[in-house]
Amino acid sequence: MKALILVDVQRDFMPGGSLPVENGDRILPVINRSLTRYPLVAVTQDWHPPGHLSFASSHKGRAPMDVIDLDGLEQVLWPDHCIQGTEGAGFPDELNLNPVTAIFRKGMDREVDSYSAFFDNGHRHKTGLAEWLKAMGVDTVHIAGLAAEVCVAYTARDAVEAGFGVAVVEDGTRPLSEEAFEKVKAELGARGVRFAPADELLNES
């Protein structure tokens, strides 16, 4: 069985949000069109406590996009985003949440960032998504959401590792950086991740 995983489709990643992805809102009609066609839809929500250590504001003298070592892991410092309970952490009004089966929140541990829908960046704690998908009989996942080369890419990588067939919905995602995304695409392709537009994926049984 197939499942659709929507990664971090949240206001802060939309144009006008605190960590905006260019044209991030263009994925919404594609996603709304796709949602009802999957027997199972899992959604992730980046859900940081205030003062999360991935925020530049949590480190004296640091600015967004600086890269630091955080507990042995390379960490890009971001603007404050997706703070628990804020408007920005919520879903855009246009997103049809009715067909969504389950919401998995991530990034709640102040000390470690969590890009993937499956693990924190240190691969120390699971979200439970892989186990849940397997319990539901899922063998193939299609992934859409934001940002393409960050949370979507980390999710795709871990999904392959967990043994799922993996496709990224090309028109259902947008990157923060096109250049970075091109590199990530090549790497994921080599790992067996497929990239295809929503219509192609929907036209397969």
**Which residues are known catalytic residues?**
8, 106, 151
Rounded distance, CA 41 to CA 24, Å? Answer: 20
Does position 8 interact with ligand VGL (CB under 6 A)? The reply is: yes
Q: Which residue is associated with the tokens 């069985």?
A: 1
What residue 150 binds from Zn ion, ligand VGL, none (CB within 5 to 8 A, per partner kind)?
ligand VGL
Rounded distance, CA 95 to CA 112, Å? Answer: 28
**DSSP calls for 86-126:** SGGGSPPTTS--TT--EEEEE--STTS---SSSB-TTS-SB
Does position 3 interact with ligand VGL (CB under 6 A)? The reply is: no
Does position 147 interact with ligand VGL (CB under 6 A)? The reply is: yes
- Closest to 155 (Cα-Cα) out of 186, 187, 117: 117
Asked whether the bond before 147 is cis by omega within 30 degrees of 0, the reply is yes
Site for ligand VGL in 163-182 (CB under 6 A): none
Applying CB under 6 A, among 5, 38, 45, 46 the residue interacting with ligand VGL is 46
For 177, which DSSP code?
-
User: Ramachandran region of residue 89, left (φ > 0), alpha (ψ -120 to 50) or beta?
Assistant: alpha
Q: Which residue is associated with the tokens 């408007």?
A: 87
Query: Which parts of this chain interact with Zn ion (CB under 5 A)?
Result: 46
Does position 144 interact with ligand VGL (CB under 6 A)? The reply is: no
CB 75, min distance to ligand VGL, A: 10
Window contacting ligand VGL (CB under 6 A); options: 86-94, 96-104, 144-152, 197-205? 144-152
CB 3, min distance to Zn ion, A: 23
CB 81, min distance to ligand VGL, A: 6
Does position 150 interact with ligand VGL (CB under 6 A)? The reply is: yes
Site for ligand VGL in 50-89 (CB under 6 A): 78
Positions that interact with ligand VGL (CB under 6 A): 8, 46, 78, 146-147, 150-151
